[in-house]
Amino acid sequence: MIEFLVTPTIYLYVALLGLVLGSFLNLLIYRLPLMLESDLPLSSKKTFNFMQPRSFCPCCKTQLTLFENIPLLSFILLTGKCRHCKQAIGIQYPIVELASVLLSCIAIKQFGLTANGLFAIVFLLGLLALSVIDFNTMTLPDELTLGLLWLGLAFNLFGSFITLEESVLGAMIGYTSLWLVFQLHRLLTNREGMGYGDFKLLAMIGACLGWGVLLPTILIASISASVIGITLLLFGKLKKDSAMPFGPFLALGASICLLWHDQLNNYFFNY
């Protein structure tokens, strides 16, 4: 595989790439759920898509100038407020941009400047977008989960990350395992504990990283979701019967498995 030496200059370029991609993720996170709200197919939406209209303030609808649209820098220069209506700009924007920079650099550190490194960036940023969308809207759009599932199968066709067999089995077992848990939970409690988006998300994770990461991903997701859920309940921030999105926790588990897979293996099986 072609691999370039990762120098500080390369990290700088990767960080800039992460910043640009983070800015696109913010656009995706804000616009995709709105685009999916109407029943029209995405291709026929002429007035509201990823290109049109140009970025605007969600509060006063004023179109943003180039100066107001620079990732991270504009937020700092405008001290987190819209220049026109003085409404606070959501903290989500700089957080997504910063997370995108960090994830891109960590992916390149772990996998080098290789095809696998670039695949890891796409996978991690896809999970980041899905997590924020699930957190905001309690949905995981098929356009992202299934799109990345196909991408994972296609990339692994050449066996550079995992074998095609591991990838196909990952998608199948990923979907079926959560579907079975869902049916069992519904049978026992008469309530739906998860959504179909979660099954598709785990299928996507399996297609990209292979069936071997599914169990540790579910374990990390369940433990972290329980800890956060119980903490929120104790502090009165979550009502007993209200739902909490599970997607961000699956994304956390999958990211940890991708980036620190060897360390996890060493820790749990060699000591």
* Residue numbers at the binding site for Zn ion (CB under 5 A): 57, 59-60, 82, 84-85
Q: Which is nearer to Zn ion, 36 or 57 (CB)?
A: 57
CB proximity list for 23: less than 8 A, separation 6 or greater: 69, 71, 97
Residues 219, 108, 166, 266: is their CA dihedral positive or negative? negative
Q: How far is the CB of 85 from Zn ion (least distance, A)?
A: 3
Of the two residues 90 and 212, which places its CB atom closer to Zn ion in the complex? 90
- With respect to Zn ion, which residue has the nearer C-beta, 84 or 185? 84
Inter-axis angle of helices 142-156 and 8-37, nearest 10: 140
In the complex, least distance from residue 129 CB atom to Zn ion, rounded to whole angstroms: 24
Least distance CB 183 / Zn ion (angstroms): 47
- Distance (Å, whole) CA 268 – CA 271: 6
* Cβ(98)–Cβ(132) below 8 Å: no
CB of 62 to Zn ion, least distance (A): 5
- Write the DSSP assignment of 159-224 as a string of letters: TSSS-HHHHHHHHHHHHHHHHHHHHHHHHHHSS--S-HHHHHHHHHHHHHH-GGGHHHHHHHHHHH
Provide, rounded to whole angstroms, the least separation between the CB of residue 89 and Zn ion.
9
- Rank residues 60 and 154 by Cβ distance to Zn ion and give the closer one: 60
Q: In this structure, what is the dihedral angle of CA atoms 111, 128, 146, 109, given to the nearest 10 degrees?
A: 0
Nearer to Zn ion, 85 or 223 (CB): 85
**Tokens for 186?**
């519904």
- Between 84 and 261, name the residue whose CB sits nearer to Zn ion: 84
Minimum CB distance to Zn ion, residue 80 (Å): 12
Pick the closest to residue 217 from 166, 180, 261, 186 (CA basis): 261
Minimum distance of Zn ion from residue 59's CB (angstroms): 4
From residue 241, how far is each of 182, 191, 229, 238 by CA, in Å? 17, 10, 11, 8
**94 or 195: whose CB is closer to Zn ion?**
94
